[in-house]
Amino acid sequence: MSLNLTQLIEQGVAGKRVLVRSDLNVPLEGTTITDDGRIRASVPTIKALADAGAKVVVVAHLGRPKGEPDPAYSLAPVAVRLGELLGAEVAFATDTVGDSASSVVGGLADGQVALLENVRFNAGETSKDDVERAAFAAELAALADAFVSDGFGVVHRKQASVYDVAKLLPSAQGDLVATEIDVLKRLTETPERPYVVVLGGSKVSDKLGVIDNLLGKADKLLIGGGMVFTFLKAQGYEVGKSLLEEDQILTVLGYLERAEEIGVEILLPTDVVVADSFGDEASARVVAANAIPAESLGLDIGPESAQTYAAALEGAKTVFWNGPMGVFEQPAFAEGTRAVAQALTTIDGLSVVGGGDSAAAIRQLGFADDQFGHISTGGGASLEYLEGKTLPGIAVLDEATVVGGLG
């Protein structure tokens, strides 16, 4: 069983260098952060360590640079925003394990915070070669006396700053990771019923494992987004130019049959909002789900379906939602997602928004984080946990042994 943050702090972190793996992978337009949700979610663990007198060294990634420096993916704007949220300047190192990092970390006073440049500017971070990855992790570990894993959005990755460094330092779960795992355990082990799962997004192939694992746990599954058209095709309906995964039709048909056998209700839209081309809002119109014109593509669930889905969520005690119902970025195709989000705000129980596009959607549509029970910071990590997969970044903490604490 891994240490938690409180236990690590109780060992005495004052004056100690604590490396914190946070998830600060936020959307940028130029150097402007368009959604700081992940930064805000990372603040409590960083602040707790700083308040306890630790020298906090934050490591994180942004985007997918190709293992070398790329100014477009610099964490410099994130350092500024993190400092604003902490109410104290955050020192920024222009590299991860080089001269700047050594100098910045060496200059920290007790209670101060530094952010290292994008960890993915180093090829060793994401290397599939265990030796190369371990060598980079050793350089990271040399900057610290202890490690706190608080980047839930990356715990499903076997990467140096997530997995390998935990083998080299006294390690603990941050509060963010601990909360995420607690919520996911409630969804998979002890859900209060009725339990409704809402799945959307573009591809059904991204959600197959979740459907497979949750079919026997949930009472209802509500399907929307681009993935719905593979379900409609499996029922024998034509879907026009809508997104379709032909190779998943038989799998989806199997899920529909299995759900019927075990008494789990799968709701599919009865109407959809279509257009003749992507982004052509002027042509948006509502058609029956079994009558999509050959020249059209579906871009949202329709108003009748939105009302049905909202009604299906009434009275639920546990809800997990991952994936928007349509192309929410465009107003003409956002109403299905808005209806689901609004319904979740009235849940008398646990409502969980499963990160990624779902979290972005609720903020873009004007909802506040505190209107929901929990907003996950890790869409991919959440889905893999719900599939029943082992998350390397969690498993390594559970396996870690702390000999002699921080000394």
In angstroms, rounded to a whole number, what is the distance separating the alpha carbons of residues 262 and 132?
48
- 3-177+390-399 and 193-348 share one fold: yes
Question: Is 193 marked as binding a ligand?
Answer: no
Position 154 scores a pLDDT of: 96
Question: Is 23 marked as binding a ligand?
Answer: yes
Question: Is 67 marked as binding a ligand?
Answer: no
Question: Is 74 marked as binding a ligand?
Answer: no
Position 280 scores a pLDDT of: 61
Position 203 scores a pLDDT of: 84
Residue type, 81: R
3-state SS assignment for residue 70: coil
Rounded to 5 degrees, φ, ψ at 223 are -110, 130
Cite the active site residues.
38, 203, 356, 380
Q: For every one of its 407 residues, what pLDDT tens digit does the chain have, with 9 covering 90 and above?
A: 689 999 999 999 999 999 999 999 999 999 999 989 999 999 999 999 999 999 999 999 999 999 999 999 999 999 999 999 999 999 999 999 999 999 999 999 999 999 999 999 999 999 999 999 999 999 999 999 999 999 999 999 999 999 999 999 999 999 999 999 999 999 999 999 999 999 999 888 888 889 999 998 999 999 999 999 999 999 999 999 999 999 999 999 999 999 999 999 999 999 999 999 887 666 899 999 999 999 999 999 999 999 999 999 999 999 999 999 999 999 999 999 999 999 999 999 999 998 778 888 999 999 999 999 999 988 889 989 999 999 999 999 988 655 445 76
Position 281 scores a pLDDT of: 63
Position 404 scores a pLDDT of: 42
pTM: 0.90
Q: Does domain 193-348 have CATH number 3.40.50.1260?
A: yes
Question: Is 81 marked as binding a ligand?
Answer: no
Max CA separation in the chain (angstroms) = 70
In the chain, where are the structural domains located?
3-177+390-399, 193-348
> What topology does CATH give the domain 3-177+390-399?
Rossmann fold (3.40.50)
Q: Which residues pair with 318 in a beta bridge?
A: 195, 350
In angstroms, rounded to a whole number, what is the distance separating the alpha carbons of residues 86 and 70?
27
DSSP assignment letter at 157: S
